[in-house]
Amino acid sequence: MLEGLIVKALSGYYYVKPLQDGNIISGEDPAVQCRARGIFKKKGISPLVGDHVMYSLTENGEGTVEEILPRSSQLIRPPVANVDLAVLLFSVKEPDLSLHLLDKFLVHIEHAGLEALICLTKQDLADASDDILEQVKRQYEQIGYEVMITSSVEGTGTEQVKDRLAGHISVFSGQSGVGKSSLLNALMPGLTLETSEISLRLGRGRHTTRHVELIELDNGGYVADTPGFSQLDFLELGVEELSTCFREFALYADNCKFRGCSHLHEPGCRVIQAKEDGIILASRYEHYVEFFAEMKDKKRRY
């Protein structure tokens, strides 16, 4: 059997690129179109894009996925395996920058145990008198996140992003219309991914990516270009885990007066104190409270 990497899943087929000694081979080797063994379906398992697999070749030049090797990570939405870097793209305008949605994405990324790179796109649309991008960059870097500012139109920051992706399997996620395909086209000229105009009436873009696929960069990196989406739910996350997904809470949570403090109303809560002292961003704390209420509501309904 041969070892390979699933780079695309479409209509029941898995497209597998060969690996050598467990390493991604960068180059022109074509992907082998494979079917998965029926045993996976019986076990309730599905191969995912990003999976390292063992496969065999069939007489017609296609292949069969025989075994899925252990995963280092797995995302439910988008369904990708072995990602180690999540690139969260948020535009300054069209659609407008939503810190509420950014924080929701960060909760999911923290829960998945991935590194996060916040990429603020469409710098060319920013008002010259507005320092919102630098302000957001400064605030989230203080929390401990890596933040880059880009413009695919002007080419700003694209090389910096590309260097960061080298040797990683990354996932690009963010609200529809923020410029994921435009940035990927800028990273890899000639890629010509379909991009979408923004619907100004709706304030969101049309989905241009209809399946999950790993796009190979010329520096050993792979990027999962995934369907755009603007809503995330918390069904796979326990409410007691939420505060651990706000990394700036950790320094104070252990010193709260009560064990299992929810950081909502308890006396002696060090997280609330840090927020009141201006150490924890008020917007981040407000979003925590909103997410907590949303999760409680979902728990009641389900």
Tokens of 15: 């497209």
Q: What angle is formed at CA 46 by the lines to CA 44 and CA 49, rounded to 5 degrees? A: 165
3 pLDDT higher than 80: yes
Establish if 252 belongs to a structural domain.
yes
The domain that holds 280 is classified in CATH as 1.10.40.50
Feature table: binding site for Zn(2+): 256, 261, 263, 269
Closest CA relative to residue 75, chosen from 90, 89, 85, 61: 85
User: Are residue 186 and residue 124 in the same domain, yes or no?
Assistant: yes
Q: What is the spatial distance between Cα 249 and Cα 270, in angstroms, rounded to a whole number?
A: 9
* pLDDT at site 161: 94
Binding site members: 121-124, 174-182, 256, 261, 263, 269
User: Which of 201, 225, 249 lies at the terminal end of a domain, its last residue?
Assistant: 225
- pLDDT at residue 202 above 80? no
Within-domain flag for 233: no
**Confidence band (pLDDT; 50, 70, 90) for 201?**
very low
Identity (one letter) of the amino acid at 88? L
Q: Are residues 180 and 116 in the same domain?
A: yes
Confidence of residue 115 (pLDDT cuts 50, 70, 90): very high
Instruction: Give 3-state DSSP helix, strand, coil % of the chain, rounded to 5.
Output: 30, 25, 45
Same domain, 143 and 182: yes
Consecutive H or E run containing 14: strand 13-20
In this structure, are 99 and 169 located in the same domain? yes
**Which structural domain, as residue segments, surrounds residue 7?**
2-70
207: pLDDT confidence band, cut at 50, 70 and 90?
very low
Instruction: Find, among 208, 272, 229, the residue nearest to 108 by Cα.
Output: 229
Q: Is it the case that residue 293 has pLDDT exceeding 60?
A: yes
The residue behind tokens 């890629």 is: 191
Task: State yes or no: pLDDT of 22 exceeds 90.
Answer: no
Query: What's the confidence (pLDDT) of residue 275?
Result: 97
Could you give the number of structural domains in the chain?
Answer: 3
Of 228, 211, 220, nearest to 8 (Cα)?
211
Query: Mean pLDDT score of the chain, rounded to an integer?
Result: 85
Q: How far apart are CA 214 and CA 302, in angstroms?
A: 34
Structure tokens at 44: 């309730």
Is residue 125 within 8 A of residue 152, CB to CB? The reply is: no
* pLDDT given at position 230: 41
Residues 149, 131, single domain; the answer is: yes
Q: What is the CATH number of the domain that holds 160?
A: 3.40.50.300
